[in-house]
Amino acid sequence: MIAYLLRRLGQSALVLFTMAVLVFLAVFALGSPVDMLASPDADQAERDALAARFGLDQPLPVQFAAFLGNALQGDLGASFVYGKSALAVIGERLPATIELALLALTFSVMIGVPLGVIAGLRPKSIAGRAIMSTSIFGFSLPNFWIGMMLILLFSVYLGWLPAGGRGPTTEVLGMQLSITSLEGWRHLILPALTLALYKSSLVVRLCEAGTREIVTQEYIRFARAKGLSSFRIIWLHLLKNMMIPVITILGMEFGAMIAFTVVIETVFAYPGMGKLLIESINRLDRPVVVAYLMVTTVIFVLINFIVDLLYVALDPRVRLGGPNE
Amino acid sequence: MMAVTNSVVAPALSVENLSVTFQTRKGPVTAVNDVSFHVNPGEVLGVVGESGSGKSVTGLATMGLIDAPGRVSAGRVVLEGRNIAGVSDRDMRGLRGNRIAMIFQDPISTLNPVLRIDTQIMEAITAHERISASAARARAIDALRAVGIPSPESRLEAYPHQFSGGMRQRVAIAIALLHRPAVLIADEPTTALDVTIQVQILGEVQKLAAESGTALVWITHDLSVVAGLADRIAVMYAGRIVESGTVAEVLTAPRHHYTAGLIASVPSRNRRGQPLAQIPGSTPNLANMPSGCAFHPRCSVSSEICSTTLPPLLHDPSGRFMRCHHPRQGA
């Protein structure tokens, strides 16, 4: 286990380093921030002074070393727009997005797994066919369109739910959370549902395929021959086997939801990380973009690690550390 | 103890005119056709046939485990005097694993890979009895010990992949016999195992079934297994039982030409050096069954009538029967 953790840590460090190189080079290729920071009427001497202040007159490897050194100390630069640390800016937005993504993930599992299992158990029934064909819509309809339709229905016509924004927040463990209040939920439910509709279509299809394969397995037949109830066979024997591949996909999807909910957060004017990314790109707030990319990389690495741990919990044949242990 | 009594023993299981039909794109296919057999308490019936002869489907149909597109299209399955063909799912679940149990061919895939052994044994106990967890656990340990698993207490928390194939089949047998069922259907449970393990498992099941008075239906393609284990034998071909009788009668003096062919194709020390006899041709496709007697295209003595008319059941006074227009005379 310890060997596994160490190896995993090494791999993660490598991923982060690679990402840092890529991000740094990409940003460097975009041109010098001096053009943006200096006033239009600044002369060359002023521009040089500005470049020297930010270390932009140094050769590329030196600049990269400085960037890496600062990054290792948790300093990814200060936002041009907000005038404070880029990480702090992201940290303020992160809870909003995590809240949204977690809720969407929960919805997609709660909707997708039961429907997928039903469709997999009765592939020829009307319900099974209806679920599978509806899931194609969930796949192919664009996310932003579904979001706008939901706003139209629930906010404009029915007036039940707010059209956008985030509800009031309270501080929980140092994070500003809105799921603590009913008003917060009222704001969360539409964007979460929109995100979840697409994801649950994916989960439905995964679960349907998994169920259809697993019900033909001999251990399911033996479980029936033992006289177990269908409930137990489905909820224990089938589900535990079926969730193994589903967990992997859900992990990736969860990471993607945190990192790239740009569209949904824009449609719902939701002050999360995705919206921050778009704003920062528009305002050329480079430190925030860089910090954003680094933070999402860390999040992906973390989620993959959690998925690995879940694997071990679900499948006893998987041992962390590989064949050497 | 073994005194012969004249009173008629009620069979533990009696299958009467059972047919199983599968709905396919090309129309209905009858995998099991008008099959009847019975097995008495403590008795061992060997059901022999090649792949595709319908022997496994017969076993599943008896358990009520035929899934769509298949269904039991005719016949009765009488377990301990009660017809269980077509009873509700709920009633059938109460019987399965309790009064009638089944073990399967491939021990590697019979146990759920992600559940611990104790979970899989204890759930089979609590499915049929209201019993505390600790009592169920004690029963599970006893059951494992009874099938010859060493230090069962420490093996309970293991997962199936930590057991060998033979050990997994022992666990499956332990589970099947938990409630001392009236009938155990064994669908080729030793086929996937090494020969030495096969013999051990055979002996184990035979002993345990005898102890609990369980009637055993042993489905196999291996005549030598049946020869050493069964009291009576039923030979299946293309979905029908073509011959049935005591093991001694059928194996020493087969009346059906298919049975004779099967026996001749088993390698034997007595015929060393001679070429093995083969039955010409191959088993018929169930969707495209020959008319009359399904065996006639491969039979050496077939005549006009064999290709047109299904042979009726011929009964011997001894209780032996066969389906053949030209039965072989006793050897």
Q: What are phi and psi of B245, to 5 degrees?
A: 175, -170
The answer to whether residues B95 and B138 belong to one domain is no
What does the alpha-carbon distance between residue A250 and residue A243 come to, in Å, rounded to a whole number? 10
B172–A237 C-beta distance less than 8 A: no
Option in A219, A225, A236 nearest B63 (CB): A225
Question: In degrees, to the nearest 5, what angle opens at C-alpha B14 toward C-alphas B8 and B16?
Answer: 120
Give domain status of residue B5, yes or no: no
User: pLDDT under 70 in chain B at which residues?
Assistant: 1-8, 269-271, 330-331
Roughly how many angstroms between the first and final C-alpha of chain B, as a whole number? 33
**3-class DSSP state for residue A7?**
helix
Give domain status of residue B8, yes or no: no
The three-state DSSP-derived secondary structure of chain B is CCCCCCCCCCCCEEEEEEEEEEEECCEEEEEEEEEEEEECCCCEEEEECCCCCCHHHHHHHHHCCCCCCEEEEEEEEEECCEECCCCCHHHHHHHECCCEEEECCCHHHHCCCCCCHHHHHHHHHHCCCCCCHHHHHHHHHHHHHHCCCCCHHHHCCCCHHHCCHHHHHHHHHHHHCCCCCCEEEEECCCCCCCHHHHHHHHHHHHHHHHHHCCEEEEEECCHHHHHHHCCEEEEEECCEEEEEEEHHHHHHCCCCHHHHHHHHCCCCHHHCCCCCCCCCCCCCCHHHCCCCCCCHHHCCCCCHHHHHCCCCEEECCCCCEEECCCCCCCC
What does the alpha-carbon distance between residue A172 and residue B262 come to, in Å, rounded to a whole number? 77
B124–A228 C-beta distance less than 8 A: yes
pLDDT in tens, B252-279: 888 888 998 888 887 776 667 777 777 8
How many other CB atoms are found less than 10 A from the CB of residue B51? 9
Distance of CA A248 to the CA centre of its chain: 13
Q: Is B110 on the interface with A (CB under 8 A)?
A: yes
- Per the CB < 8 A criterion, the answer to whether A81 and A88 are in contact is no
Q: How far is A232 from chain B (nearest CA, A)?
A: 9
Query: Choosing among B108, B110, B114, B188, which should be mutated to test the A contact, i.e. which has the most A CBs within 10 A?
Result: B114
* Domain coverage including residue B306: 13-99+181-323
Closest CA to B176 of B151, B150, B144: B144
Give domain status of residue B6, yes or no: no
B124–A226 C-beta distance less than 8 A: yes
Closest CA to B229 of B238, B240, B219: B219
The answer to whether residues B226 and B317 belong to one domain is yes
Q: What is the torsion angle, in degrees rounded to the nearest 10, for the CA atoms of residue A187, residue A188, residue A191 and residue A194?
A: -120
DSSP notation for A30-68: T--THHHHS-TT--HHHHHHHHHHTTTTS-HHHHHHHHH
ipTM for the predicted complex comes to 0.89
Give domain status of residue B209, yes or no: yes
The answer to whether residues B192 and B93 belong to one domain is yes
Closest CA to A120 of A107, A105, A138, A132: A132
Q: Is A53 on the interface with B (CB under 8 A)?
A: no
The answer to whether residues B310 and B268 belong to one domain is yes
Question: In degrees, to the nearest 5, what angle opens at C-alpha A151 toward C-alphas A150 and A154?
Answer: 75
Length of chain A: 325
The answer to whether residues B277 and B313 belong to one domain is yes
Give domain status of residue B2, yes or no: no
The answer to whether residues B48 and B133 belong to one domain is no
Give domain status of residue B164, yes or no: yes
At residue A322, the pLDDT reads 52
Q: Is B136 on the interface with A (CB under 8 A)?
A: no
What does the alpha-carbon distance between residue B20 and residue B61 come to, in Å, rounded to a whole number? 7
- In chain B, residues 40-69 whose CB comes closer than 8 Å to chain A: 63, 65, 68
The answer to whether residues B154 and B231 belong to one domain is no
**3-class DSSP state for residue A78?**
strand
Give domain status of residue B71, yes or no: yes
B110–A218 C-beta distance less than 8 A: yes
Q: What is the DSSP letter of A171?
A: E
Q: Is A323 on the interface with B (CB under 8 A)?
A: no
A240–B115 C-beta distance less than 8 A: yes
Q: What is the torsion angle, in degrees rounded to the nearest 10, for the CA atoms of residue B279, residue B285, residue B290 and residue B292?
A: 90
At residue B47, the pLDDT reads 95
Q: Is B226 on the interface with A (CB under 8 A)?
A: no
Tokens standing for residue A151: 């706003």
Q: What is the DSSP letter of A322?
A: G
The answer to whether residues B244 and B264 belong to one domain is yes
Closest CA to B113 of A234, A231, A116, A217: A217
Q: Is B96 on the interface with A (CB under 8 A)?
A: yes
Task: Check which CATH number belongs to the domain holding B233 and give it.
Answer: 3.40.50.300
Q: Which amino acid is at B181?
A: P
The answer to whether residues B123 and B224 belong to one domain is no
B45 bridge partner residues: B217, B232
From B117, B149, B178, the end of a domain falls on: B178
Q: B98 contacts in A (CB within 8 Å)? A: 227
Cβ neighbours for A206, distance < 8 A, ≥ 6 positions apart? A112, A116, A245, A246, A249
What does the alpha-carbon distance between residue A172 and residue A191 come to, in Å, rounded to a whole number? 22
pTM: 0.82
The answer to whether residues B246 and B297 belong to one domain is yes
Count of A–B CB contacts within 8 Å?
Answer: 81
Cβ neighbours for A133, distance < 8 A, ≥ 6 positions apart? none
Tokens standing for residue A123: 């592939």
Buried (b) or exposed (e) across B81-116, using 16+ Cβ within 10 A? eeebbebeeeebbebbbbbbbbbbbbbbbbbbbbbb
Q: Which amino acid is at A52?
A: A
DSSP notation for A191-224: HHHHHHHHHHHHHHHHHHHHHHHHTTSHHHHHHH
From B137, B154, B178, the end of a domain falls on: B178
- Per the CB < 8 A criterion, the answer to whether B233 and B70 are in contact is no
Q: Which residue is it, tokens 């599978």?
A: A132
- pLDDT per residue, tens digit, chain A (325 aa), is 777 778 888 888 898 889 888 888 887 666 666 776 677 777 888 888 877 777 777 788 888 888 888 888 878 777 777 878 888 888 888 888 888 899 999 999 999 999 999 999 998 889 999 999 888 888 888 888 888 888 888 888 887 888 877 877 777 777 777 777 778 888 888 888 888 888 899 999 999 999 999 999 999 999 999 999 999 999 999 999 999 889 888 888 888 888 778 888 888 888 888 888 888 888 777 788 888 888 888 888 888 888 888 888 888 887 765 544 3
Report CA-CA distances (Å) from B14 to A11, A120, B82, B97, B240. 64, 35, 10, 18, 16
Q: How far is B91 from chain A (nearest CA, A)?
A: 10
The answer to whether residues B252 and B319 belong to one domain is yes
Tokens standing for residue A161: 């739910």
Option in A124, A227, A316 nearest B97 (CB): A227
Closest CA to B216 of B228, B237, B231: B231
Give domain status of residue B237, yes or no: yes
From B127, B149, B178, the end of a domain falls on: B178
How many structural domains comprise chain B? 2
A223–B112 C-beta distance less than 8 A: yes
- Per the CB < 8 A criterion, the answer to whether B144 and B155 are in contact is yes
- In chain A, residues 211-230 whose CB comes closer than 8 Å to chain B: 217-219, 221-230
The answer to whether residues B296 and B192 belong to one domain is yes
- Per the CB < 8 A criterion, the answer to whether B84 and B95 are in contact is yes
